[in-house]
């Protein structure tokens, strides 16, 4: 009996959407690279002048952008703030997510605590901005420490939501077996639960790092006027009252993009699994 060959038909609506999505992402990236490599005199008001390739490829814009933004110091500040924020967030938010996630179903107070923490996702930053400026100044933490504390608090609702949701996929029997063997709750968490949540750690790390690295408002209102600039804050150098030097600005954007892009590529294998499982309630 001959087997019938299954002819797979192309799903054109999905294919068209994928192509449109690719163009949506690739076109701005192309513009950024082309403008960053051009000289100001090559920029014209016509569309053809903007889209055309540079007459000669030069990295002078990148060198000038690095000089104007004090790139290495700004990069160091951004790396410091992002790294500390990610590490502290993973440790604290996973602990809080574990505590709430394991108890909210059987204790209404933990459920109320969960709803209270997650409700922080709906508070806009504009409402918090002025009180933060005043409180950080009064507490003498209007510096890098204050920025890190703010970020840890800002990303707590989202991360607790992800961690507590991910715990649904981890059987309670693992913890019960560990207790029978004499392990304390603390040892059970660090020896069993914390390693199992590795995909969610990667997801939280990427989402928190992306938000922290690209944020400009929090450093602006807390560090504004100081010498401690992050990369997004340093890029405001190219925006003046009379216009923007797009060639230098776009070169600076590309320089700021590379570190976080490499970090995302390194962690991408864990992201999809973590997001899907963490969305389970």
Q: What is the pLDDT of residues 80-104, one digit of tens each?
A: 999 999 999 999 999 999 999 888 8
CA distance 260 to 278: 23
Through-space distance between the first and last CA atoms of the chain, rounded to whole angstroms: 48
CA distance 159 to 245: 38
In the chain, the percentage of residues whose pLDDT exceeds 90 is: 17
CA distance 182 to 84: 34
Give the pLDDT mean for 125-154.
89
The whole model's pTM is what? 0.81
Half-sphere exposure of 110 (CA within 13 A, CB side): 14
Mean pLDDT, the chain, as a whole number?
A: 82
- Which comes out higher in pLDDT, residue 148 or 32? 148
- pLDDT the model gives residue 278: 47
Q: Is the pLDDT of residue 11 over 80?
A: no
Handedness of CA 187, 193, 195, 197 (dihedral sign): negative
- pLDDT the model gives residue 281: 44
Give the pLDDT mean for 120-143.
87
Element (H, E) at 138: helix 125-138
Phi, psi (rounded to 5 degrees) for 242: -105, 0
Cβ atoms 229, 223 nearer than 8 A: yes
Widest Cα–Cα separation across the chain: 84
Q: What is the pLDDT of residues 188-231, one digit of tens each?
A: 889 888 988 888 888 898 889 989 998 988 988 888 766 778 88
- pLDDT the model gives residue 84: 96
Q: Please, what's the b/e burial string for 86-123 (b: 16 or more CB within 10 A of its CB; e: otherwise)?
A: beebbeebbbbbbbbbbebeeeeebeebbeebbeeeee
In the chain, the percentage of residues whose pLDDT exceeds 70 is: 85
Bridge-partner residues for 22, per DSSP? none
- pLDDT the model gives residue 48: 63
CA angle, residues 20, 25, 28, in degrees to nearest 5: 120
Confidence category of residue 156, pLDDT binned at 50, 70, 90: very high
């Amino acid at each position: 009996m001959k087997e019938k060959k299954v002819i797979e038909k192309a799903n054109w609506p999905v294919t068209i959407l994928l192509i449109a999505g690719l163009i949506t992402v690739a076109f701005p990236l192309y513009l950024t690279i082309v403008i960053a490599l051009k000289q100001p005199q090559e920029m014209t008001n016509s569309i053809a002048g903007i889209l055309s390739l540079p007459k000669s490829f030069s990295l002078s814009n990148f060198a000038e952008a690095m000089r104007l933004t004090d790139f290495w110091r700004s990069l160091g500040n951004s790396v410091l703030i992002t790294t500390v924020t990610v590490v502290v967030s993973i440790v604290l938010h996973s602990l809080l997510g574990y505590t709430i996630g394991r108890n909210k179903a059987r204790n209404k107070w933990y459920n109320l605590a969960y709803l209270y923490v997650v409700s922080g996702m709906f508070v806009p930053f504009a409402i918090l901005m002025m009180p933060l400026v005043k409180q950080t100044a009064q507490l003498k933490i209007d510096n890098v420490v204050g920025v890190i504390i703010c970020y840890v608090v800002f990303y707590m609702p989202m991360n607790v939501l992800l961690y507590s949701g991910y715990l649904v996929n981890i059987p309670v029997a693992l913890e019960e077996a560990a207790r029978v063997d004499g392990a304390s709750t603390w040892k059970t968490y660090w020896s069993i639960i914390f390693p199992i949540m590795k995909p969610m750690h990667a997801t939280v790390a990427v989402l928190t790092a992306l938000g922290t690295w690209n944020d400009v408002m929090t450093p602006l209102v807390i560090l504004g006027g100081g010498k401690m600039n992050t990369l997004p804050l340093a890029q405001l150098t190219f925006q003046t009252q009379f216009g923007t030097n797009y060639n230098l600005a776009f070169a600076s954007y590309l320089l700021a993009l590379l570190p976080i892009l490499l970090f995302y590529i390194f962690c991408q294998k864990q992201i999809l699994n973590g997001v899907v499982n963490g969305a389970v309630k």
